[in-house]
């Protein structure tokens, strides 16, 4: 069997841009407070007619187009989301229909903000074990999408959550790559004893929707921010270290680190603890905020389209979120740098986000002037 790697990337964020000023007053804070506490300058919000499947399908089309493939070459469609279109059917089934992936199996993964990494790990195993094609030899590729619309489940008076999130989708196409490239190792970690740190309490079988759950705000996303930060600072370095140890890969060889874009300040705090001396830390949190399961895939697509990732570079991906869960993947990049930027807007020299992130010394080579 050929090794499995990423053969195409794509992302989509809605056109509607929401500045810090537009949400600050409702949350009882200022625009500068949001930037100073999170590194976020703006985020994107889905239009009224857009559902999670719409964002996911557009990111999928872009990834397929980059890979030079058609949807009927897909063996499966995995959608990682915690904001599905409906409790059922799976959002992946809707995406499968929207993109015309008629041969593909379709299912959702809900590991909240770690979901894309969970989906990636599952997809690699389906293809790598030789049983991902459903018996169809023409279907040698798989699609993994992370997509969320958190704007629909936020309490905009809650400053702990209202300022952090945006909407978006990111996708990768998985398939055979040359020997020596592709996914090397993955890690999936669960800490279910801490599941109460992040969640939406109402709307499921434990607390079905009712007048009471609506009145109590049970359908809004809630998070214990300080405890989540402590979880990430404690668990993420251990997860990264364990992954590299199993892969027998020295930390100094990692060239790129693409993390979940939870909070820019939190990433600045945990970054030195990861021990990746030669890696570029790639951030898009200032422009897109936290897009949930989409954030790693959106950032990966952004930096690839800007030409930051070279063929053969070692890339480390990591997500963390509700559950509590951590997902990570180490891969040797299988795509060539684009000969010209692939439709990703560049940062302007006077962009305030650039100055703010540069003050931390955290800008990746993809965006630093």
pLDDT at residue number 346: 43
CATH of the domain at 281: 3.40.47.10
φ, ψ of residue 134 in degrees (nearest 5):
60, 25
Query: Is 20 a catalytic site residue?
Result: no
pLDDT at residue number 347: 40
Please check whether residues 265 and 140 belong to one and the same domain: no
Please check whether residues 208 and 155 belong to one and the same domain: no
Please check whether residues 325 and 192 belong to one and the same domain: yes
Say how far apart CA 106 and CA 90 lie, in whole Å: 8
Please check whether residues 327 and 268 belong to one and the same domain: yes
Q: How many CB atoms lie within 10 A of CB 177?
A: 20
Q: Is 50 helix (H, G, I), strand (E, B) or coil?
A: coil
Task: Please state the domain count of the chain.
Answer: 2
Domain end call among 150, 181, 212: 181
Say how far apart CA 81 and CA 149 lie, in whole Å: 9
pLDDT at residue number 137: 55
pLDDT at residue number 128: 83
Please check whether residues 288 and 337 belong to one and the same domain: yes
pLDDT at residue number 2: 87
pLDDT at residue number 358: 54
Instruction: Kindly state the helix (H) or strand (E) to which residue 214 belongs, with its residue range.
Output: helix 211-215
CB contact burial 62-76 (16+ within 10 A = b; e otherwise): bbbebbebebebbbb
Query: Is 113 a catalytic site residue?
Result: yes
Question: Using CA of residue 311, residue 312, residue 314, residue 316, what is the dihedral sign?
Answer: positive
Return the percent helix, strand and coil in the chain, to nearest 5: 40, 25, 40
Residue 95 placed within a domain: yes
Q: Is 353 helix (H, G, I), strand (E, B) or coil?
A: helix
Say how far apart CA 175 and CA 264 lie, in whole Å: 32
pLDDT at residue number 139: 64
Q: Please state whether 158 falls in left (phi above 0), alpha (psi between -120 and 50) or beta.
A: beta
Which of 20, 110, 263, 290 is flagged as catalytic?
A: 290
Which of 256, 260, 288, 304 is flagged as catalytic?
A: 260
pLDDT at residue number 356: 47
**Token pair for residue 250?**
């020295």
Please check whether residues 315 and 171 belong to one and the same domain: no
Query: Is 263 a catalytic site residue?
Result: no
Residue 39 placed within a domain: yes
Q: Which domain holds residue 148?
A: 4-181
Residue 366 placed within a domain: no
Please check whether residues 34 and 154 belong to one and the same domain: yes
Please check whether residues 69 and 112 belong to one and the same domain: yes
Which of 113, 263, 282, 325 is flagged as catalytic?
A: 113
Distances 257 to 54, 152, 357 between C-alpha atoms, Å:
28, 30, 16
Domain end call among 152, 181, 210: 181
Domain end call among 181, 208, 236: 181
Tens-binned pLDDT, residue by residue, of the chain (369 aa): 789 999 999 999 999 999 999 999 999 999 999 999 999 999 999 999 999 999 999 999 999 999 999 999 999 999 999 999 999 999 999 999 999 999 999 999 999 999 999 999 999 999 986 544 444 555 689 999 999 999 999 999 999 999 999 999 999 999 999 999 999 999 999 999 999 999 999 999 999 999 999 999 999 999 998 999 999 999 999 999 999 999 999 999 999 999 999 999 999 999 999 999 999 999 999 999 999 999 999 999 999 999 999 999 999 999 999 999 999 999 999 999 987 656 654 443 444 444 445 554 544 433 332
Instruction: Kindly state the helix (H) or strand (E) to which residue 153 belongs, with its residue range.
Output: none
Please check whether residues 71 and 210 belong to one and the same domain: no
Please check whether residues 58 and 146 belong to one and the same domain: yes
Residue 369 placed within a domain: no
Please check whether residues 151 and 192 belong to one and the same domain: no
pLDDT at residue number 18: 96
């Amino acid at each position: 069997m050929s090794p499995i790697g990423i053969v195409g990337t794509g992302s989509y964020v809605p056109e509607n841009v929401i500045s810090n000023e537009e949400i600050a007053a409702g949350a009882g804070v200022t625009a500068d407070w949001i930037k100073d506490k999170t590194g976020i300058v703006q985020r994107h919000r889905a239009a009224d007619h857009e559902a999670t499947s719409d964002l996911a399908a557009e990111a999928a089309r872009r990834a397929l187009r980059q890979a030079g493939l058609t949807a009927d070459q897909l063996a499966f469609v995995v959608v990682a989301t915690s904001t599905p279109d409906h409790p059922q059917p799976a959002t992946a089934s809707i995406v499968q229909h929207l993109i015309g992936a008629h041969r593909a199996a379709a299912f959702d993964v809900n590991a909240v903000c770690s979901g894309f990494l969970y989906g990636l790990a599952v997809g690699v195993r389906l293809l790598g074990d030789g049983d991902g094609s459903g018996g169809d030899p023409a279907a040698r590729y798989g699609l993994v999408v992370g997509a969320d619309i958190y704007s629909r489940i936020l309490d905009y008076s809650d400053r702990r959550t209202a300022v952090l999130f945006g909407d978006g989708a990111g996708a990768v196409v998985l398939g055979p790559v040359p020997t020596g490239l592709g996914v090397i190792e993955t890690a999936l970690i669960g800490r279910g004893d801490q599941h109460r740190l992040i969640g939406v309490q109402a709307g499921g079988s434990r607390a079905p929707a009712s007048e009471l759950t609506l009145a109590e705000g049970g359908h809004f996303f809630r998070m214990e921010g300080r405890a989540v930060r402590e979880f990430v600072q404690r668990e993420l370095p251990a997860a990264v270290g364990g992954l590299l140890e199993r892969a027998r890969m020295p930390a100094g060889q990692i060239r790129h680190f693409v993390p979940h874009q939870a909070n820019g300040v939190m990433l600045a705090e945990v970054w030195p603890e990861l021990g990746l001396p030669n890696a570029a830390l790639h951030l898009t949190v200032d422009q897109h905020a936290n897009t949930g399961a989409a954030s790693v895939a959106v950032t990966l697509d952004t930096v690839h389209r800007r030409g930051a990732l070279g063929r053969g570079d070692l890339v480390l991906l990591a997500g963390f979120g509700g559950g509590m869960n951590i997902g990570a993947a180490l891969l040797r990049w299988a795509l060539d740098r684009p000969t010209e930027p692939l439709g990703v807007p560049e940062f302007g020299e006077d962009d305030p986000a650039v100055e703010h992130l540069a003050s931390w010394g955290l800008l990746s080579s993809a965006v630093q002037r």
